[in-house]
């Protein structure tokens, strides 16, 4: 898995987060095709982990510019993908970083990317939606409102976590199913994106605090 990730990506920095280096797809089609070929038989998802999504980039930028949000705290990055938000939190001084993914390739890519940036992450390969995440003070999620079931379940859960006292921040490039109530807008960034995945060169991305 590690060899596949390294062979099908290049080391690059996301446009809004030049401090970090990640294994990323620099040309969409070859990776998508080769991944599909390799993974089709195993019924695996497309390589979301090979892109630094606009929501994740905005949230990572916010964390790096406001390190006090995570410094010395225990932080969980839900649906970590490439690990970019989790890595930003580690760089900003978080005490411990946990993360979750459903895609084993993403979990492995996040670990590789953490090593590339000289930080460590603990990635759980399971669905933690609905769990209390006991012991975590801050919950982060980059770009998770792109499909309705995940967005609805995620939003309900984020509110529960906020009610139990966690700081919950999400990065969202105005996806269709993003919550519009019980959120506080903290920042908006114009994120450089690829036309192949976002139909635009720049995408506004909001950083929202979820209110319980
Ligand atoms: C659009 S990507 C965002 C990745 C990363 N947070 C970023 O901003 O670049 C969405 C990711 O969510 C993951 N995902 C979807 N549902 C999930 C769930 N219930 N638990 C954990 N990860 C999930 C997918 O595998 C995918 O990697």
Looking from the CA of 182 toward its CB, the CA atoms found within 13 Å total 14
**From CA 5, how far away is CA 108, in angstroms rounded?**
8
CA of 141 to the centre of ligand 1 (A): 8
Q: Determine the average pLDDT of the residues in 41-51.
A: 78
Residues in contact with ligand 1 (CB, 6 Å cut-off): 45, 48-49, 52-53, 55-56, 79-82, 84-85, 100-103, 106, 127, 129, 142-144, 146, 150
Domain holding 121, by residue range, is: 2-210
> What is the count of structural domains for the chain?
1
DSSP 3-state assignment of 141?
A: strand
Predicted model pTM = 0.95
Alpha helical stretches, state H, the chain: 2-7, 28-40, 54-65, 84-91, 104-116, 148-163, 195-198
Looking from the CA of 186 toward its CB, the CA atoms found within 13 Å total 20
CATH number at residue 94: 3.40.50.150
CA of 148 to the centre of ligand 1 (A): 13
- Position 42 scores a pLDDT of 61
**From CA 58, how far away is CA 209, in angstroms rounded?**
13
- Position 43 scores a pLDDT of 65
């Amino acid at each position: 898995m590690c060899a596949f990730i390294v062979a099908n990506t290049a080391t690059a920095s996301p446009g809004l987060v030049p401090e970090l280096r990640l294994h990323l797809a620099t040309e969409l089609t070859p990776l998508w095709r080769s991944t599909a070929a390799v993974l089709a038989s195993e019924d695996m998802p497309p390589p979301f982990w090979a892109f630094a999504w606009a929501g994740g980039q905005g949230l990572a930028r916010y964390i790096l510019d406001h390190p006090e949000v995570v410094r010395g705290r225990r932080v969980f990055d839900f649906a970590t993908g490439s690990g970019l938000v989790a890595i930003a939190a580690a760089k900003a001084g978080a005490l411990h970083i946990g993360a979750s993914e459903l895609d084993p390739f993403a979990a492995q890519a996040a670990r590789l990317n953490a090593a590339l940036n000289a930080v460590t992450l603990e990635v759980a390969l399971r669905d933690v939606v609905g769990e209390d995440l006991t012991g975590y003070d801050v919950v982060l999620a980059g770009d998770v409102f792109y499909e309705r079931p995940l967005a609805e379940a995620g939003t309900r859960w984020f509110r529960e976590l906020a009610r139990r006292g966690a700081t919950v921040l999400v990065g969202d490039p105005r996806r269709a199913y993003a919550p519009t109530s019980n959120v506080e807008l903290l920042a908006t960034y114009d994120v450089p994106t690829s036309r192949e995945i976002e139909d635009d060169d720049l995408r506004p991305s909001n950083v929202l605090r979820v209110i319980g």
